[in-house]
Structure 1
Amino acid sequence: MKPLLTESKEACYEAFRSKDARFDGRFFGGVSSTGIYCRPICRAKLPKYENMTFFATAAEAEQAGYRPCMLCRPELAPGNSIMDASSALAQRAARLLDESCGSGQSLELLAKRLGCTDRHLRRVFEQEYHVTPVQYLQTRRLLMAKNLLTDTNLPVLEVAMAAGFGSVRRMNDLFQKHYRLSPTDLRKSAGRTQKKEIAVNLDYRPPYRWAEILKFLAARAIPGVEAVLDGCYARTVSLRDRNGAPCRGWVQVSHLEAKHRIRVTLSESLVPVLPQLLYRVRRLFDLDCNPDLIYETLQRMNELRPGLCVPGTRVPGCFDAFETSVRAILGQQITVRAASTLAGRLAEQFGAPVKTGIEGLTRIFPGAEDILALGDGIQEQLGVLGVISARSGSIRALAEALTSGAIDLSLSADPEQEMEKLQSLRGIGGWTAQYIAMRTMGWPDAFLETDVGVRHALPGYSARELLELAEQWRPWRSYATVNLWNTL
């Protein structure tokens, strides 16, 4: 297989020599003398130039016969943001594969979700990633299993099922084929220790403004569902496993700043849905962001006022698209705190109870199906909680659209198309549609020119003038918006 990055081998080698975190996750280096592949930040001794081959993805490196490095752990590398890939369809498919690697979803079903044939999907995927979707999915499962074997004490059977292999035998066969050792041998070589909790690490590209994203999430936390405590974010979780059975529990996210990673601690009940869970955490904390690339464009904001744009600013995503969208609708024309209060009342009244052992986390936020189950009396039932009739109607319309599939708020959706659909719903205007796209679909180019916070951060400009000013910040206007909010 011809490696993708042959023509820039010198530049890739220099990146490895510098161990610069800005290149982390953007390519990998295979070392012919050892048969392993590494991240650019690997602390091992720099291999000889002639012994290195560079690949765009971990899957491509593994298909070329390389095994993942035990020191730098390629499974922890951040991915690429939505604006990095030349093929939107291929990247949307990769995101769905990342999320559903434990579900056993077929390629035909994946292609149907993306609105194309499986043949077309294979073609564009191979052009973009130099591996087939099946090969990419296989690597995601192997790396997920490697992560669990290294970071947790989960039994090998639970690791195999969580990673989507379906059986220990299947996982063993692929480990022997790709890594030339068994899962048990890998766990021993990683220096297994007795771990009382189930926790997995996820890396990011520094810098990362952890305090700012926690402040944002804390201000909007839904009582009973979310909490920010002692520098950590925690929330209740309800996801469905590969058989459709509900899995409920809790997750807590903390920051390991010195290692440029976050630590995801979870209840044992969520192990069967771990790929989904980690995918949502990556989305919520914008871990695939390339902050240096974004700052190159947005640093001109500081010409308006010093300190307006700060490197490492992330756009807070979401854990559950319906939950975030409902909160956005509730927040129309009222304060942030008032919107959180209303969302908390919805959770208390219609959400399922859950035991977490974490102070303040007692409820699962109601899903779209729960809202639709209220029937024609939704306006009266939400009205008692303080939700006005117009907002109740918008929430119901959104629930119907999501349940029927008429609207898609996932990272694999086309944001511009979905924003048009959102605005066709009564009570959802431009501000709400842009905000929902920014947070649920990872849309990096949303701009809220009518937002009160944006106008306070840049006083003296009309909405039209703000929109014209923001043209120079494309395609990162979502990051510009968050930078403006952070100055308030």
Structure 2
Amino acid sequence: MLNPEICQKARFSRDPRFDGKFFTAVKTTGIYCRTTCPVSPPKEKNVCYYATAIEAANAGFRPCLRCRPDSAPGSPAWKGVNTTLERAIKLIDEGALQTGDLSALAERLGISDRYLRDLFKKHLGTSPKTYAQYQQCLFAKQLLQQTKLPVTQVALASGFSSIRRFNDCFLNQLKLTPSKMRKSAEEKANSLQLKLYYRPPYNWSLMSSFLMARAIPGLEWGSEHSYGRMFEWAGTRGSFTAKHIADDFRFDVTIEVDDVRHLKAIVNNIRRILDLDVDMQAVEQDLALSCPEGFTVKPGVRLPGIWSMFEAGIRAILGQQISVVAARNLVTILVSSLGESSGGKYFFPTPEAIADNELDCLKIPGSRKQTLRNLARHYLDSENPDDASAWLKLKGIGPWTVDYARLRGLSEPDIFLGGDLGVKKAMGQSGEALTPEEASPWRSYLTFQLWSLL
């Protein structure tokens, strides 16, 4: 339950660290806002507080057009409450209920659809279907306000199969019509700009250095303030460039795609790669308690992701027992040799491109080439190729490779690379007796804390 006194102090402070942790609904206007809303704060007697945006919507409030609560950094109230619910919401956000029904989702989670509905009702006060529709509408609202995509394209990108269905759902969920949010002017349908917010602290300097030290020419690019890359998602191809705006705690992201139907999943993956949804203060608080007294936890150290689990696995195999520079050179050769070219840039090679290739372009042992082919073949033949536990059956893949892929390809928060040479070296340099198990469930962040010492 939210404490009204604490919420009152937080909203009056407009501290961005509270942004997304709760929402303020104004009874006299019927609108709910972020804690950082720039308008004059209403009187306390006229407000009530909700832990999530959908709770405020269920109570009859519509989102503020000024502060755009759909853009608030993610800090779900259910985080850590129920693992099954967390997985369900992640899958719904990725479009599970757009491509399948509730029964299929429940079966994927290993529970009954009744139990799934009970979980949503208990923790979010709504049904899975209503939650999915509301998230679709919030994403559509973001596209309508921040881009100039045609309304038809916005509807498709948000997961709606028809304009009529989109208009009806939008009006029902947000109490507004899409036309009231529509910006004027024309823009290329395949190019758009979005603002993606996070909650500080964020050590962009460290994140950028890590990404650029491993960036593959032609596939990735960046500067002191930006990072971008080519990508493919479920047959959709495109690129993105994220520019860090430190003063406003956000990234301005330019995305170009050849099909907008998977746009929401693509945006979610960009958020994962940049690690925008973690509550960094909570992580650092736990790490400080679990680490020895003399170990200093650096603020804002996040998890730099890789676009896909397959790419993470290939890069991990090529990086086995060699330096970062040597691994980068090998990946660069693979990408330029087998990756499809587009306008002078490259997409990462597909499993089909690697599975039956002799890989003569790589000056590595034949056994390692076979390991690359084995993983690519696994992705072609397996129903759930991203399940890294099955990779251990493939010759040439051990625990370090699997853990590294999960760490960067899925951004799992509790992976400790204890066998990594860099981690071992950092632990020796720290001069303190670390017990990684005590840092759970944030051992991935401990791994990057240690790497940052090198």
TM-score (norm 2): 0.91
Give 1:263's aligned residue. 252
What residue ranges of structure 1 are gaps of 5+ in the alignment? 241-245, 356-360, 410-417
| Partner Cα separation in structure 2 for residue 367 and residue 54 of structure 1 | 48
* Structure 2 residue 315 is matched with structure 1 residue 332: no
User: How far apart, in 2, do the equivalents of 1:127 and 1:396 lie?
Assistant: 46
SS in 1 for 2:238: strand
| Equivalent residue, structure 1, for 2:93 | 98
Shift in Å at residue 397 of structure 1?
3.4
1:441-464 per-position Cα deviation (integer Å, ceiling 9, x unaligned): 2221211222222222232689xx
2:174 maps to a residue whose letter is Y
SS in 1 for 2:254: strand
**Counterpart for residue 479 of structure 1:** 445
Aligned to 2:271: 282
Aligned residue for 2:240, secondary structure, equals strand
**1:295 partner SS:** helix
Q: How does 1:16-95 map to 2 (within 5 A)?
A: 16-80=11-75, 84-95=79-90
Structure 1 residue 207: Cα displacement? 1.3
When residues 475 and 83 of structure 1 are mapped into structure 2, their CA distance, relative to the original with a 3 A threshold, is farther
Q: TM-score, normalised by structure 1?
A: 0.85
Match of 1:352 in 2: 340
Residue pairs, 1:42-441, within 5 angstroms: 42-80=37-75, 84-100=79-95, 103-187=98-182, 198-229=192-223, 231-240=225-234, 246-299=235-288, 301=291, 303-305=293-295, 308-355=296-343, 362-372=345-355, 374=356, 378=357, 381-405=358-382, 407=384, 409=386, 418=387, 420-441=389-410
Equivalent in the alignment of 1:414:
none
What secondary structure is seen at the aligned counterpart in 1 of 2:36?
A: coil
Gap runs ≥5 in structure 2: none
Q: Which stretch shifts more, 81-90 or 38-47?
A: 81-90
Report the AA paired with residue 304 of structure 1.
G
Task: Give distance in 2, aligned partners of 1:387 and 1:302.
Answer: 41
1:258 to partner: Cα distance: 1.3
- Asked if the contact 2:412/2:444 (under 8 Å) is kept, the reply is yes
**CA separation of 1:400/1:121 partners in 2, compared to 1, >3 Å: closer, same or farther?**
farther
- 2:254 and 2:247 map into 1 onto residues whose CA distance is 18
Determine if contact 1:102/1:162 at 8 Å carries over to the other structure: no
Specify the SS of the correspondent of 1:443: coil
1:413-445 residue CA offsets vs partner (Å, 9 max, x unmatched): xxxxx5543434332222222222222222212
Q: Identify if the C-alpha distance between structure 1 residues 487 and 408 changes in structure 2 by more than 3 Å, giving closer, same or farther.
A: same
Structure 2 CA distance for partners of 1:263 and 1:33, relative to 1, 3 Å: same
Amino acid at match of 2:427: L
How has the CA–CA distance of structure 1 residues 139 and 249 changed in structure 2, closer, same or farther, with 3 Å as cutoff? same
> Aligned-pair distance for 1:103?
4.7
Percent sequence identity over aligned pairs:
38
- CA shift, 1:292, in A, is 0.8
Moved more, 136-145 or 444-453: 444-453
Larger displacement relative to structure 2 (151-160 or 101-110): 101-110
- Would you say how many aligned residue pairs link Structure 1 and Structure 2? 451
Q: What is the rounded CA distance, in whole Å, between the counterparts of 2:365 and 2:303 in structure 1?
A: 29
Please give the alpha-carbon distance, in whole angstroms, between the structure 1 residues aligned to 2:260 and 2:389.
Answer: 37
Deviation digits for residues 238-270 of structure 1, max 9, x if unmatched? 223xxxxx3222111111111111111012525
Secondary structure (helix, strand or coil) at the match of 1:459 reads helix
Q: Measure, in 1, the Cα distance between the counterparts of 2:241 and 2:267.
A: 11
